[in-house]
Amino acid sequence: MEPKISEKAWNPELEKNILKQWEEDKIYDFTPEENNFTIDTPPPYPSGRPWHIGAAAHYSQIDMIARTARMAGKNVYFPIGIDRNGLPVELYTEKKHKIRMRETERGEFLNLCRNALDDLEAEMILIMKNLGISGDFVNYYRTDSEEYRTLTQSTFIKLWKKGEVYLANRPNNYDWVSGTTIADAEIIYDDLQTKLVYMKFKIKDTDQEIIIASTRPELLCACRTIIVNPEDERYSKYIGKKIIVPITNAEVELRTHHSAKQEFGSGAVMVCSYGDQNDVVLFRELELDEIVAIGLDGRMTEVAGEYAGLKPKQARTKIIEDLETAGFVEKIDDIVHRTPISERSKIPIEIIPMEEYYLKQKEKVENIKEIGNEITFHPTMHKQILMNWLESINIDWPISRRRFYGTEIPIWYCKNCSEPHVPEAGKYYKPWNEACPIANCTKCKSTEFIGEERTFDTWMDSSVSPLFISKFNRDDEFFNKVYPVSIRPQAKDIVRTWLYYTLLRCEELTGEKPWSEAWVMGYGLDEKGMKMSKSKGNAIDPLPVIEKLGADTFRFWSASEINHGYDFRCNEQKIESTKKFLSKLWNVSRFLSSFPVIDSGTPNASDKWILSELDKLVKECKKGYEEYNFFIPAIAIREFTWNVFAAHYIEMVKARAYGIEFSDEERDGAIFTLHKTLKTILKLLAPITPFITEHLWKILYSNESIHKQKQVDVENIEEQTEITKEISEFNSIVWNEKKSQNLSLKDSIKMEIPQILKPFEKDLKSMHNLLD
RNA sequence: GGGCUCAUAGUCUAGCUCGGUUAUGACGUCGCCCUUACACGGCGAAGAUCCGGUGUUCAAAUCACCGUGGGCCCA
């Protein structure tokens, strides 16, 4: 019989038609019912080309979650969103058009950003679609849309009215390149080369001096005290004495504090506003008055005297020269210093007192721990990232940013008395560009207002994604059916930001957890295990890879190579070699396509054996799918299909399936079993490689999409693992024997079949052409 | 300094919970082979001090302890 499938290999070009068919048939449409399964899909940020290959792998796996749930009989809601708020697009736009944000008219700048986002977004959507992501692209959302920003602002207004938001003037992490305050969560650390300067400080009214080592001599003008460890005997006689600061000649007191490390530098530390976070703590604890030495422009202020106007780094160089000239320097060491830098602009942050809005979070920590414990983490170990972060929270969340492309903070201030006014929730407000919707100041009745110019931290937007997709405040019926949503898939590196902030915000607004499960994935690394980044030039563009090899190859690579939760290496050659398995599957199907599909048959010993192995496979895949760990089914299916089913079973039953020297009943037993096995393999594999399985399924078995089928159930057939081993060993022996005798595989040979394999005798004889 | 996590052939990986096989499989490498599904294939070969040390045990990749090295996070 002619095979229904004539091509010799899987052609990834076919994916395009299949994709079109799915789109036309709307096979993934969702209307809320019982048994909803909602995915809080991470909205990717279009920050520039190329998109990350690790992200493509990540979204492929999120799609596997959706398809797994669908085949488990759940009603899947799989929204797609694009995150468009924040700094990266502003930097991208500034660079692209060679303009400065603050020197450009705000409305015009926002338009340029929007256009840039549209271009980058289009490519991301294209990649996601080509990957076979079964999400809702028709109603995809943007976090900068009027609807989304209305939600962000409404949730802020709610919290403002509850008294959860306050304004405070505090030392803040300031990134002067992007001109904004940033949260602790956005700080990363880098080891940078710097100079540790050992300076001589005179003790007042004596001719003695002490040595103080510092990496920030330019902050001498902001020095308020000197501390030493209380147990440091070298300095005990100077405690309480006045010390003269070099250059400025200011007098400060020498005090004790346990945070001074005896072994670092000279053991004596100058405390300035603000060299680092420890200085902030000390100023608060010792009740010192701060001196603002660095301004918002990132330059030294007038208190720095002749250094005013210089950048801290320039001032440092100059002051070191001056200190040396004046004989205040004992020595200078070159050291590597762990420096806090801004995650976004990659420059060292400064700590500067500024007035910013804060959202209360400190008193919420215990609440969040509780709801965190109600959530099932996949893998369990990553829950620890959240718990560690919760332990370390010690300040509230600064939520205002001095940037343009973000959701506006909806506040107007009375021009006369400065009283802040927050409008009614439910509308999108742009205070920098719109009149205040409130007629009179509630305090002084004045009619003139000034709009707030700042925007929110982008996590204020993305942290309400579960509320947005479940139509919070917009459609109560929908919301009640869908919220809390089922699962939050996301990457490991944003647990302390996106995951945490979502818990915080959703708990504040709904009193409930946002999802039942959190699924946390590792990072994509390059071939050598380094983190991929555009600046290092080791980033791989996913688009050409997918276009060349097809989505299924890429997806199968992603499943079979990425152990869930762990970091993974991306290697193009390895992705390519994955294609071989799809070829194997294709050719197995091609072979089976030459036999009629029959619904029943009487299995013989060989058939029963492969069916028991198949059932074992179903069991294993089920286990993997239940944990959304696709590594388990991918590896198991490949192993079974290639090394058991194709290598041994098909070879054993080939002659029987053709009906050569076998009865019709024996033949049908083989054909039935072959099809049952392939059908099962296709279904098991469908969530991972949706295209090829759909194609083969439709050619061989049904007009209805494989993605509408229910997953195969475990039958609990008794295991025959021992037989598998015996068969493969026996086959190996025969092949080796023929080889050593220089025989072709079809030549006949005389071999003794082991006792345990007697039930398989007839099949084995025909397979190897064994003589009696 | 603290926390999390990892360590098995050139690369990825199974096994470790609950100790006993010749340490699994894949990619890559090499050799042979067109056998009526597949040369994008088949068969076979080479390739691992299971990070190191100590202990428990008749027996350790597996258990315990002490180290070393990598990654990430926090201070």
Q: Which two tokens stand for residue A386?
A: 């959240």
Mean pLDDT, rounded, for A180-192? 70
CATH superfamily of A182-350: Valyl/Leucyl/Isoleucyl-tRNA synthetase, editing domain (3.90.740.10)
Sequence-distant (≥ 6) Cβ neighbours of residue A20 within 8 angstroms: none
In degrees, rounded to 5, the angle at the alpha carbon of residue A622 between the alpha carbons of residues A617 and A627 is 135
Question: Helices in A393-499 by DSSP H: which ranges?
Answer: 458-462, 465-469, 476-482
Average pLDDT in chain A: 88
Q: Would you say A505 and A464 are in contact if contact means Cβ atoms under 8 Å apart?
A: yes
Contact yes or no for A210/A260 (Cβ under 8 A): no
Q: CA–C1' span, A529 to B10, in Å?
A: 15
Q: What is the DSSP letter of A290?
A: P
**pLDDT tier at A423, thresholds 50, 70, 90:** very high
- What's the pLDDT at A402? 83
Report the alpha-carbon distance of residue A466 to residue A488 in Å, rounded: 9
Nucleotide with minimal C1' distance from the CA of A530 is B71
The nt closest to A493 (CA vs C1′) is B72
* Token digits of residue A71: 């085949």
Q: How many CB atoms lie within 10 A of CB A303?
A: 15
Do residues A179 and A403 make contact, with C-beta atoms less than 8 angstroms apart? Answer: yes
Closest CA to A149 of A464, A378, A500, A388: A464
Residue A279 vs residue A529, higher pLDDT:
A279
Nucleotide nearest to A5 (CA to C1'): B37
Tell how strand A350-359 and strand A165-175 pair up. Answer: antiparallel
Mean pLDDT in residue range A153-182: 87
Nearest residue to A562 (alpha-carbon basis) of A633, A467, A476 = A633
pLDDT greater than 70 at residue A530: no
Nearest in space to A590 (alpha carbons), one of A171, A5, A18: A5
Matching residue, tokens 């980058």: A120
Secondary element (H or E) of residue A357: strand A350-359
Between CA A633 and C1' B63 the distance (Å) reads 30
CA to C1' distance (Å), from A297 to B10: 52
Indicate if the pLDDT at residue A1 is higher than 70: no
Nucleotide nearest to A527 (CA to C1'): B11
With the C-alpha atoms ordered A244, A250, A254, A258, is the resulting torsion angle positive or negative? negative
Among all strands, which nt has the closest C1' to A382 (CA)?
B4
Distance A578 CA to B31 C1' (A): 24
Q: Which residue gives the smallest C-alpha to C1' distance to B73?
A: A385
A521 CA to B42 C1' in angstroms comes to 38
Q: What is the pLDDT of residue A407?
A: 96
Q: Which residue has the higher pLDDT, A188 or A650?
A: A650
Residue A561, CA: closest nucleotide via C1'? Answer: B12
Determine the distance between A510 (CA) and B52 (C1') in angstroms: 53
C1' of nucleotide B42: residue with nearest CA: A647
Interacting residues of A435 by C-beta distance below 8 A, sequence separation 6+: A449
Nucleotide nearest to A591 (CA to C1'): B37
Residue A492: nearest nucleotide (C-alpha to C1'): B72
Mean pLDDT of A407-424: 95
> For residue A19, which phi and psi values (nearest 5 degrees)?
-60, -45
Q: Is the pLDDT of residue A535 over 60?
A: no
Specify the pLDDT at position A574: 79
pLDDT at A761 over 70: yes
CA A409 to C1' B20, in angstroms, rounded, equals 68
Shortest-distance nucleotide from A734 CA to C1'? B43
- The residue to which tokens 């106007």 are assigned: A309
Q: CA A570, C1' B49: Å apart?
A: 30
The spacing between the Cα labelled CA in A258 and the C1' in B75, in angstroms, equals 15
Nearest by Cα to A352 from A406, A390, A398, A295: A295
Is residue A288 scored above 90 in pLDDT?
A: no
The pLDDT of A597-618, averaged and rounded, is 92
How many angstroms separate the CA of A391 from the C1' of B14?
A: 36
Mapping DSSP onto H, E and C, the string for A646-662 reads HHHHHHHHHHHHHCCCC
Q: What is the pLDDT of residues A96-105, one digit of tens each?
A: 999 988 889 9
pLDDT band at A711 (very low <50, low <70, confident <90, very high): very high
Give me the CA A577–C1' B28 separation in Å, rounded.
10
Residue whose CA is minimally distant from B72 C1': A493
CA closest to C1' of B12 belongs to A561
Calculate mean pLDDT across residues A308-314: 88
pLDDT for the residue numbered A356: 86
Q: How confident is the model at residue A536 (pLDDT cuts 50, 70, 90)?
A: low
Residue A302 vs residues A73, A273, A297, A299: alpha-carbon distances, Å: 69, 15, 13, 10
Mean pLDDT for the stretch of residues A169-190:
75
Interatomic CA–C1' length for residue A554 and nucleotide B13, angstroms: 18
Top mean pLDDT of A276-280, A393-397, A508-512 is at A508-512
Question: Above 60 in pLDDT, residue A637?
Answer: yes
Rg (alpha carbons) of chain A, rounded to whole number:
34
In a 3-state reduction of DSSP, which class is residue A199? strand
Q: Which nucleotide is nearest to A739 (CA to C1')?
A: B43
**For the domain A31-158+459-554, what is the CATH code?**
3.40.50.620
**Dihedral of alpha carbons A490, A494, A495, A499, sign:** negative
Topology match between the domains A1-22+580-711 and A31-158+459-554: no
For chain A, the domains span 1-22+580-711, 31-158+459-554, 182-350, 410-453, 720-772
The alpha carbon dihedral of A125, A129, A134, A137 has a sign of positive
CA angle at A598 for the pair A594 and A603, rounded to the nearest 5° = 105
Assess whether pLDDT exceeds 70 at residue A726: yes
Backbone phi, psi, residue A2, to 5°: -70, 135
What confidence tens digit (pLDDT) does each residue in A430-468 have?
999 999 999 999 999 999 999 999 999 989 999 999 999
Provide the CA A646 to C1' B15 distance, Å, integer. 25
| Of A501, A513, A506, the residue nearest A473 (C-alpha) | A506
What was the pLDDT predicted at A480? 95
- At A557, the amino acid letter reads W
Would strands A376-378 and A515-521 be described as parallel, antiparallel, or unpaired?
parallel
CATH H-level superfamily of A1-22+580-711: Isoleucyl-tRNA Synthetase; Domain 1 (1.10.730.10)
Mean pLDDT over A72-90 rounds to 92
pLDDT band for A627, please (50, 70, 90 cuts).
Answer: confident
Percent of chain A beyond pLDDT 90? 45
A493-507: average pLDDT? 91
Q: When comparing pLDDT for A433 and A337, which is higher?
A: A433
Q: For A628, what's the count of Cα atoms within 13 Å in the CB-facing half-sphere?
A: 28
Q: Which residue is nearest to nucleotide B44 (CA to C1')?
A: A736
Query: Do residues A384 and A523 touch, judged by C-beta distance below 8 A?
Result: no
Q: How confident is the model at residue A533 (pLDDT cuts 50, 70, 90)?
A: low
Q: How many angstroms separate the CA atoms of A478 and A637, rounded?
A: 38
Would you tell me how many other CB atoms lie within 10 Å of the CB of residue A716? 10
pLDDT for residue A151: 97
Distance of CA A424 to the CA centre of its chain: 35
What pLDDT band is residue A71 in, cutting at 50, 70 and 90?
very high
pLDDT at A185 over 70: no
Whether A1 contacts A594, CB under 8 Å: yes
Taking the CA atoms of residue A577, residue A680, residue A547 and residue A42 in that order, the dihedral angle to the nearest 10 degrees is -110
Strand B bases near protein CB (under 7 Å) are 2-6, 11-14, 25-28, 32-33, 35-44, 70-75
> At residue A635, does pLDDT exceed 70?
yes
